[in-house]
Structure 1
């Protein structure tokens, strides 16, 4: 897979969240969905940003 993008399953595994939780982030515009040919991909930098934000929010007790 492209280094700039992650597949749906790769993103879910990286974030450690449910499929439903992942799609919720996509629907709320926190993660951008990109169509590349027939594949649906997500920007790696946005997934990494979400991981960091989730870590910070957990630390703050949110």
Structure 2
């Protein structure tokens, strides 16, 4: 194997692992975003439940 092939294989290996790290970081960021969305949805649902419980919504005849 000549020096060019050795350099190319090493560079390809580094790119492969860099991509794997980036994919993992993206998955973690997506999970964090999904968790934040879930918290917002739960908070909105809880707010709506309190409004209903306090009879804030009045029926208009």
Which TM-score band (shorter chain)?
Answer: 0.3 to 0.5
Name the TM-score, length of structure 2 as normaliser: 0.33
Tell me: higher relative CO, structure 1 or 2? Use CA pairs within 8 A at least 6 residues apart: 1
Larger radius of gyration: 2
- Structure that is richer in helix per residue: 2
